Structure formats: structure tokens, C-alpha cells
Chains A and B, each alone.
Chain A
Amino acid sequence: MRRRRHDVVVVGAGPAGLSAAATAASMGRSVLLLDQAPRPGGQIWRHRAGASLPARARHLLDRVRESGAVHAVATVVDAPAPDTLMVDFGGRVDLVHTAAVVLATGAVERLLPFPGWTLPGVTGVGGLQALLKGGLQVRGRRIVLAGTGPLLYPVAASLATAGARVLAVLEQAPFSAVAKFGTRALRDPHRFVDAVRWRATAWRSAWHHDAWVVRAEGGERLEAVTISVGGRERRIACDWLGAAAGLVPRTELARLLGCALEGEAIAVDATQATSIPGIWAAGECTGVKGDAAAVLEGEIAGATAAGDGGGMASRHAVARGQGIAFGRQLADTFALQPALRTRVTPEAMLCRCEDVRVGAIDPAWTARQAKLWTRVGMGVCQGTVCGVACTALYGWEPPQVRPPLAAPPLAAWARWLTDVDSPTES
């Protein structure tokens, strides 16, 4: 075991984390920026070596590089105290001491069960894009996308650009709600131009509202999906299905640290401070509202964590409020239709880690009873996937978080136990 010491530790290298790290480091603080992914950028700017990125992403990545912040590919395993993180640096577990933690843990997809969703070829919407960015070949592949919210647009466009046949794009929200949202979006020229460009790129696809997947079929892999459009069912043969029900803030580490939540998001004040002193949070983990708001919130969180006394927060107060208002519009417009919950059948897999089917659960149980009697949510993903589903289906609180958040290899634990406590370095 080795001890490291930094003024500020930022968890998550997406737009919010990059911005927080660059800001705190440029104020002279020693900053450690942690992320599980091989390269910084988060999900939205996930890229392979040499891939092209939007100008604002390149600019932010440059800022981080020039700021002196240290980026490490690493996973937070535990948080024994708010000022101490146990971190797995690629098989070596170290203790990191810090005066300030900025949580920029982003969002995960809300993945709701439906019959056949464990078939290979069924992924999330962002999940499919992540695989594409990781090098998945989709040329000529038949793809159906089923989800909700603005994410459908860039994902459909990037798949079409890569040569896929995106047969259908299903938005679960009704047309009226999306149209109202679109009218508001006209006020933001950047968002509008992006939406039009993406939609034009995927012009061959059939776009439907009030539409979702009823079931997926196949043997060793996905072969077809049955979709519902405005209440009418139809079967489409396809190779890949990207299906999700929007995004949900990722809060495991925040909950482990004891930070209060507001709904599904980490509760923060105007300076991005959480309920626990010394811990700040920024970006999608404090509520889904897009990358522009995340960069801004990261700047506020980074500055406050570096001790600017709230100056950055006051300068950005108005823009921050606009970001939050946009987040509310997103949540209202793309609220889940009840059918996404009622489409589950008893045979549908609920907990994919422990192989617990929907039929094994009595919705009248508490989350704890369900855990004890079925092991739902007790598998290797720690309920990250099915916990969100159980909240949507049964109204259960998110599962209690226990360390390790992600189990390091056994060899790392062995080294942890046998290594002498070597001197601090930073």
C-alpha cells in the first residue's frame, strides 16, 4: 500500500470533471483526476487514440494537460472517510488523502427490463454508441434504437455515418411533448443546429414517437424486435437494438460518502457543495442537463474546492440556473410512460447478475425483503443496473452502497495486505 496526497481529487473525467480539474489546478492546487476509462472525455467525448473530437472537447482536454492536473486510469474502491479514498490504480490499490473531493461521476442509462433484453445484440442507446466509439463495426447492420430524450439524435447519426442501416428510432415520449420541447430549443441556436444536423444524417430512418420495444427475440443473438408505435405492434428483423429509458445520475460513490440526494441526483448548493463538508459535485450526477451545464458546474466546483470563496459561483449564477431549468424541461418532456413499466413479463430477467426474473419478485416486498429472498441487486454490478429498474418498477429506494464499489483483482488485495505502508508521495 502506498499513500498519496493531493489538494483536490476529481472523480470522473467527463465534461464536469475535466473542467473542475483544470480550474482547480490552474489555481495552483495539486489535482488528481480519476477515471475508469483508458482516455479522458467521459461518455460524451469517449474516443479512440487519434479520433477527432469537437472543438470544445479538445479545448478542455488541452486546458487539463496545461494545468498540471494528474490524470490516472483508476477506480475508486472505497471511501473510508470523506478525506480518504481507496483507489485501484490498474491493479495496485493505494490510499489517496485529500482536502477536497469533486464528484463528477456523470450518469448511467436507465435500463429497464423487457422480454429478451439479455440477448447479445441488445445494448443501451448510449451503450451502443460506446461500443461504436470503441471500434464496433456496424456497416450494413440493421439497427433499431429505442429510448428517450436528445441522446437518440447523435447516436442515430453516428451509427448512420458509420454505415449502419438504422431502421427505426423510437422515442417513448408523445409527439406533443417533444414538439413543445423543440419549440423551446429553437431559442438555443446551437442545440437546434445540432438536432437538425443529426436528424438529417439519419434521414433514412423511420422516427416514431409514443413508441418502444415490447420484446426482443433470438437464439444465440438478437434476430428481431417487436415494437409498439402508438399502441400498434410490429415486428422488425434486426442485428442490434439500442434500448434505454433515458439517463439517471450516477451516485454510488456519493451515497457511500453519505452525501444527501435530491430525487435521484446528488443534492448541491449554488457553489456545487454537497451535504458533506469537503465534497463537491458537478455535472450529470447532480441532475441530467447536458455537457454545457456540466462544464460550467465543473468550473464552479473546481474553483470552490480550490478555495475561491464562492467568487466563481456568483459570476456563473445566472448561467447555472439556466442549466438547471433546462434539466427540468428535459425531465418533464421525457417523463417515462407507464407502458415502459407494464411491458415486463414474469419471464423477463430483472437482475442480470444473479439471474432473478421479474416473476420472482413480489412488488409488495420491501427492497430488503427482495434482496434476502432472491439476491436481486446483490451481484457483481452492485445493483447499478437493476437498482434503477427496481426504483422505476416498484418505487424502491436505491440499494445501499457497500465497498468495494468495483472489486479489484485478488492480486491487488494481496499486495495491499502484504505491502509495508510506504512513504507518502504525491
Chain B
Amino acid sequence: MSGDVTIHLDGVPRRVPAGVTLAAALCNLEHLAFRRDLGGGPRAPLCGMGTCFECRLSVDGVAGTRACLIEVHEGMRVELTR
């Protein structure tokens, strides 16, 4: 694995290491509120393996994408679920 890639987090470019999952990349950036529950509380990855759906967000326009199941790529557009 070599170098970094740029992902766009709610429109803001961020450099992250290539080859990591989007879930890990966001945690490493301290973006821990992947989505908000009905009471406005933050939610973040729980199971890490695609079953709990807590890490779902919009990736490249596809809503409900599980961040733990995909790796970051150059130019990835991520919208946190609100």
C-alpha cells in the first residue's frame, strides 16, 4: 500500500491513508458521529463487519452504504447521515 488518497467529507477534502476502510478512516479523523439517532445522539461503528448498519452513510451518492465494508478511494465523496 502506498501513500494517501483524498476523500471529500461533507465537501471538505481530507487526506487519508490508502487501503483503510472508510469506517477506520473516519474514526482516525475523529469523525465519530457517523449518523444521529432520533434524540440527536451520535452513532458510530459497532460490529465492524456489516451486520449492525450503525456506520451507514452516503458514499458517492449511494445512501445507506456501510462504511466498514468499503475501502477509501481517491475522490470518494462521503456525506455523513444526519
Residues of A at under 8 Å CB distance from B?
36-38, 43, 46, 48-50, 91, 108-109, 111, 118-124, 126-132, 134-137, 220-221, 250, 349, 352-353, 355, 379-381, 384-385, 406-407, 409, 411
The answer to whether A37 and B48 have CB atoms under 8 Å apart is no
Interface of A is mostly: loop
Besides A120-B43, A384-B52, 19 new A-B residue pairs in contact (Cβ under 8 A), listed by A number: A36-B50, A36-B69, A38-B70, A38-B71, A43-B49, A119-B42, A126-B47, A126-B49, A127-B45, A127-B49, A129-B48, A130-B49, A131-B24, A135-B21, A136-B27, A221-B44, A380-B64, A407-B64, A411-B62
CB-CB under 8 A for A385 and B46, given A134-B68, A220-B32, A355-B39: yes
Chain A residues with Cβ under 8 A from B32's Cβ? 120-121, 220-221
In the complex with contacts A38-B71, A120-B33, A135-B20 CB distance below 8 A: yes
Expressed in whole angstroms, the minimum distance between the Cβ of B41 and any Cβ of chain A is 6
Contact B48 A108 (CB under 8 A): no
Which B residues are in CB contact (< 8 Å) with A126? 47-49
Q: Are B37 and A130 in touch, CB under 8 angstroms?
A: no
The CA-CA distance from A118 to B47 in the complex, in Å, is: 12
A352 touches B69 (CB 8 A): no
- The size class of the interface chain B forms with chain A is 35 or more
Residue of A nearest to B47 (CB): A127
- Partner-A contacts on B (CB < 8 A): 1, 17, 19-21, 23-25, 27-28, 32-34, 37-39, 41-54, 56, 62-64, 68-71
With A120-B32, A221-B32 in contact, is A108–B47 under 8 Å at CB? yes
Distance in angstroms between the alpha carbons of A250 and B51 in the assembled complex: 10
In the complex, the answer to whether B53 meets A380 with C-beta atoms within 8 Å is yes
A-B contact pairs, 26 of them (CB 8 A): A36-B50, A37-B49, A48-B1, A49-B19, A109-B47, A119-B44, A121-B32, A122-B46, A123-B45, A123-B47, A123-B48, A124-B47, A127-B46, A129-B48, A131-B48, A134-B24, A135-B25, A135-B28, A136-B28, A220-B33, A221-B42, A349-B37, A352-B43, A353-B53, A355-B38, A409-B62
A131 touches B53 (CB 8 A): no
Chain A neighbourhood of B53, CB < 8 A? 353, 379-381
Chain B interface, >50% SS class: loop
Tell me whether B51 and A121 are in contact (CB under 8 A). no
Asked if B50 contacts A37 (CB within 8 A), the reply is yes
Q: How far is the CB of A14 from chain B (nearest CB, A)?
A: 11
Task: For the complex, give the distance between the alpha carbons of A134 and B50 in Å.
Answer: 12
